[in-house]
Amino acid sequence: MPGPSRTDGTMDEKTYNDWENYETWAVALWINQEQSSYHYWRAEARRNYKDAPACQQVQDGIWNAEQAAKFNLADQLKEEFNDAAPLTEPNVYSDLLGAALSEVNWSEIAEHMLADLADEKHADLAEDEHPVFGPVIFAYTRAQAIDDGVLVDVSEMAREAGLKHPTALTATVWGQYVAVPEGVEGQDEQGRLWDILMMLRFAIQKGTEGSELLYEVLVRNDNTSPQPVTLKAICGPGDTADPVITIMLPNED
């Protein structure tokens, strides 16, 4: 792989494949190259975009909503990538890794992710007005979310587990609790998905009021004991009036 190309040093020029530097390009490349990572960060970009109007700095007039979305997403990217760094013991390799991560322009990656939301290939014009972002430029359907990988359709196994409505997981749930972390033994995606669906069925059988419920699933993401995690399931109309089930993290909607 060639090293970063150089420029004359001006601040507004890109130095590697239209990114600020090699380190930023490499992180962006790996986010998009790995399926679970792509789906996870696409969903997180959408969540940050949606949550931005409620940000305190927006309410105080310090930022607009787009600035808040970019800052919060960039901060999340930096924190999660630094926390996941595999080298923790002080040595030359951890120093080099830390130096490389410190060069990453997290704001540039966040800006690209958020820009992709505006380029959804199935975007439809709508007349509704958003109180902060202005005109809503598209209506995003459940079918489009499944096509884009924002939702993962698990209806076939859900029917086997006794759930009669079409069922989907958010990409975040899939990435954290269905996809098997590297190095974890004795786990597979089918078994982990089955546990999520069966525990939902048991929770529904206990009886609940309303269209939303929280329930727990035991998940093993390392080679120790399984740990309880809380998921949220919502039942409501999909792209038609027929009910559908969506399983997500408690802070997703």
What pLDDT was estimated at residue 122?
Answer: 39
Asked if residue 209 and residue 130 are part of one domain, the reply reads no
Question: Is 17 among the domain residues?
Answer: no
Give how many domains the chain has, as a whole number. 2
Last residue of a domain, one of 106, 135, 164: 135
Query: Which of 109, 135, 161 lies at the terminal end of a domain, its last residue?
Result: 135
In a domain, 4, yes or no: no
Is 5 domain-assigned?
A: no
Identify whether 148 is part of a domain.
yes
Last residue of a domain, one of 99, 116, 135: 135
Q: Distance (Å, rounded) from C-alpha 207 to C-alpha 229?
A: 20
- Is 2 within the bounds of a domain? no
Q: Does one domain contain both 149 and 193?
A: yes
Residue-wise burial string across 81-112, b where 16 or more C-beta atoms lie within 10 A, e elsewhere: beeeeeeeeeeeeeeebeeeeeebbbbbbbbb
What average pLDDT score do residues 33-51 get?
A: 84
Confidence of residue 75 (pLDDT cuts 50, 70, 90): very high
Give the span between the Cα atoms of 23 and 4, in whole angstroms.
9
Average pLDDT, the chain: 83
**pLDDT bucket at 123, cuts 50 / 70 / 90:** very low
In a shared domain, residues 106 and 28: yes
Q: pLDDT over 70 for what percent of the chain?
A: 84
| pLDDT confidence of residue 118 | 66
Structural domain boundaries enclosing 35: 22-135
Residue 8 has pLDDT above 70, yes or no: no
The verdict on residue 13 lying in a domain is no
Residue 148 sits in the same domain as residue 127: no
Shared domain check, 29 and 48: yes
- 183 lies in some domain: yes
Q: Which segment, 40-54, 136-150, 196-210, is predicted with the most confidence on average?
A: 40-54
199 and 222 co-located in one domain: yes
| Residues 225, 168 share a domain | yes
What own/partner pairs with CB < 8 Å and gap ≥ 24 does 24-30 have?
A: 24/103, 24/104, 24/105, 24/108, 24/109, 27/77, 27/81, 27/104, 27/109, 28/109, 28/112
Q: Report pLDDT for 10.
A: 39
Transcribe 171-222 into DSSP letters: HHHIIIIISPPTT--S--HHHHHHHHHHHHHHHHHT--SSSEEEEEEEE--S
Q: Is residue 221 part of a domain?
A: yes
> What pLDDT is attached to residue 140?
66
pLDDT mean over 77-93: 88
pLDDT at residue 5, rounded to an integer: 39
**What pLDDT sits at residue 245?**
94
Question: In this structure, are 66 and 120 located in the same domain?
Answer: yes
- Same domain? For 125 and 72 the reply is yes
pLDDT score of 9: 39
For residues 52 and 117, state if they share a domain: yes
- 27 and 130 fall within a common domain: yes
Binned at pLDDT 50, 70 and 90, residue 102 comes out as very high
Rounded distance between C-alpha atoms, residue 177 and residue 195, angstroms: 10
Residues 94 and 153 both lie in one domain:
no
Inter-CA distances, 45 with 29, 49, 70, 82, 121, Å: 16, 6, 9, 18, 16
